[in-house]
Amino acid sequence: MIRYLVIPFFALLLVLIQETVLFSMTFDTLRVNAAILAAVYGGFFLEEKEGLWLSFSLGVFLDGLLSVIPGVYVFSYVLINYLARWMSGRMNPGKTWPLALFTFLVSFIEFFFFYVLSGLFSGKDLYDAFLLIYLPQAAVAAVMCPVVFTLFHRIAGMKHGERENTAYQV
């Protein structure tokens, strides 16, 4: 029960670190999207309810802090969590490159929702943003995936008194 209280705190902390510290340490086009990495991690490695709660919490905090269109982050992150949960049964999550490829591909789901909804609601064309922002951001997420997942495993292993969670090794 306590983990369902800790997960939103972790999600808020992750979003704040992503939008302050990581944003100031990176270039405009090469941003680290730690929230999407956490949603993918939750779908692959956490229990179903924990992963869903993490993705929902990340979406709520990102919607509250960044979104002009309400609910876009919640919907996309919950969908990403479900896709990761579905793919976890069809691929070996212990291998690095399938996780990196999956993370790269689901970054486009997030972009697709932004592209469609911004076109519907504000009439903006985000095609240039795709080439300049989202494509490099997806590549950075794929490259950072093994490092960040190892960190998440260490944090998840702490709750059991282990040195790290042994489900995934780089």
Give domain status of residue 31, yes or no. yes
- Domain with 13, as residue range(s), is 3-158
Six token digits for residue 75: 């919907």
Q: Is 43 left (phi over 0), alpha (psi -120 to 50) or beta?
A: alpha
Give domain status of residue 166, yes or no. no
Confidence band for 85, pLDDT divided at 50, 70 and 90: very high
Residue range 3-26, pLDDT digits in tens: 888 899 999 999 999 888 877 776
Residue range 137-162, pLDDT digits in tens: 888 889 988 888 888 888 776 655 55
Residue range 33-70, pLDDT digits in tens: 889 999 999 999 989 999 999 999 999 999 998 887 88
The number of distinct structural domains making up the chain is 1
State pTM to two decimals.
0.84
75 C-beta neighbours (distance < 10 Å), count: 16
Does residue 144 contact residue 107 with C-beta atoms inside 8 Å? no
The maximal CA–CA distance of the chain, rounded, in angstroms, is 52
DSSP 29: S
In angstroms, the CA 139 to CA 131 distance is 11
Give domain status of residue 167, yes or no. no
